[in-house]
Amino acid sequence: MRFLLRRLGFYLTAAWASVTLSFFLPRLMPGDPATAMFARFRGRLAPEAIAAMRSAFGFSDAPLLQQYARYLAHAARGDLGISISYYPASVGSVIGQALIWTLFLSGVAVLISFLLGTVLGVLAAWKRGGWLDGALPPVLTLLGAFPYFWLAMAALFVFGIGLGWAPLRQAYDDRLAPAPSAAFVASVFQHAVLPAATIVVATVGGWMLSMRATMINVLAQDHVLYAHARGLSPWRIMFQYAARNALLPNVAGFGIALGFVLSGSLLTEIVFSYPGQGYLLFRAVKSLDYPLIQGLFLTTTVAVLGANWLVDLVAVWLDPRARS
């Protein structure tokens, strides 16, 4: 319990540091949201209007520390402000809309990749030198070594544009209204297959290799030999005696990967024009939409820390030594 509480304290500190960084970093970029917004009018804005807009849109000239204090107070209340590039929509509603798609796409993809990679790693280590062990790791490592955006664009070009099997943009067919209908669910699935597949292909090799390496170590240990000697079934030894112990590093990695689900899907979403957090962040940074950038950093931080906290819980469950 003390362990978990100590971790919680650490997470709160990390959250504060991240929120602070997400406030100051965008402000170090050249330009400011006001000029970025006004530039769209190509000079056709009256100077009086610019001055009035600065205050109306909340582009404050107050000292940074004062703005920072106000931002912290608002963020603590859950008020993330109004987005500039989606004005007058609130940051909360803009992120909420995108969050669902990111969670769905990257969450499912990371989960599939983790499960698939782990199981493949277990099997490869069990039958060391077998055909699975010989063929898969080099192929998957090769695929994982491609720059991801290249892999994604090639997949989009071949399967989307060339063969016409996959849609080219968005999360569902724009002639359907979001509803719990079979057509809508099918459309969502159809739009997610290609982006999700590229994430799985790019990452599954990592999971497999790390699982295989730990598994080989564990398989050489005495308790596994003892289990063999007792005549237990190979499946039981493989999963209950070896895999459970070998799983710890992968679970810790899974926690980190889960956190990056929110931010790491940037390239996927840009290439496949998927309306999630990553695409949103890309746009927010381009238009210097400070409130939206801050909001996105905040949700990502909370997600990464939350996922790590969950991993801590799982680690305590898997490994009794962590409890003391």
Partner 1 sequence: MIWRVPRLVSRRSGASPVAAALTLAAGLGSGLGSGLGACGGARPAPEPGVLEIAEGAKTSAFTRNFNPLLEAGDMRWPARGSMYEPLLIWNPMTGQFVPWLAESFAFSADHLRLSFALRHGVRWSDGQPFGAADVAFTFELLRTHPALDILGVGEYLRAARAVADDQVVFDFKRPFVPGLDDISAYPIVPAHVWKDVADPLTFANPTPVATGPFTEVTSFQPQAYRIERNPRYWGGAPAVQALHVRAYPANDQSILAIINGEVDWACDFIPAADRILVGRDPLHHHYWFPATDATVALYANTTVTPFADARVRKAVSMTIDRARLVMVALHGYTHPADATGLSDAHQRFRDPAAVAAGRAWVAHDPPGAERLLDAAGLLRGPDGWRRGPGGRRWSPTMIVPVGFSDWVVASQIIARGLRAAGVDVTLRTLDYNAWNDSVQKGVFDLSMGWTLYSNTPYTFYRGLMSRQSVKPVGEDASDNWHRLAIPDADRLLTALEGTLAPEEQMPLYHALEMVFVREAPAIPLFPGPLWGTYNDKRFVGFPDQRNPYAPLSPNLLPQALLVLTRLRPQ
Contacts to partner 1 by CB under 8 A: 29-32, 35-53, 55-57, 82, 85-89, 94, 97-98, 157, 160-165, 167-172, 174-175, 177-178, 273-275, 279-280, 283, 286-288
Minimum CB distance to partner 1 smaller for 84 or for 311: 84
| Least CB distance to partner 1 at residue 289 (A) | 10
Minimum CB distance to partner 1 smaller for 165 or for 189: 165
| Least CB distance to partner 1 at residue 152 (A) | 12
3-state helix, strand, coil in the chain (%, to 5): 75, 0, 25
Paired tokens of 231: 């005549």
Letter for the amino acid at 117?
A: G
DSSP line for 23-61: HHHHHHSSS-HHHHHHHTTTT-S-HHHHHHHHHHTT---
| Least CB distance to partner 1 at residue 324 (A) | 49
Minimum CB distance to partner 1 smaller for 49 or for 115: 49
Which of 72, 55, 63, 54 has its CA nearest to residue 27? 63
| Least CB distance to partner 1 at residue 68 (A) | 21
Query: Dihedral angle at the C-alpha atoms of 115, 120, 123, 128, nearest 10 degrees?
Result: -150
Minimum CB distance to partner 1 smaller for 159 or for 241: 159
Paired tokens of 36: 């970025």
| Least CB distance to partner 1 at residue 272 (A) | 9
Minimum CB distance to partner 1 smaller for 154 or for 225: 154
CA dist 35 and 287 (Å) reads 10
| Least CB distance to partner 1 at residue 147 (A) | 14
Minimum CB distance to partner 1 smaller for 59 or for 68: 59
Counting every residue, how long is the chain?
Answer: 324
CA dist 90 and 96 (Å) reads 10
CA dist 88 and 213 (Å) reads 52
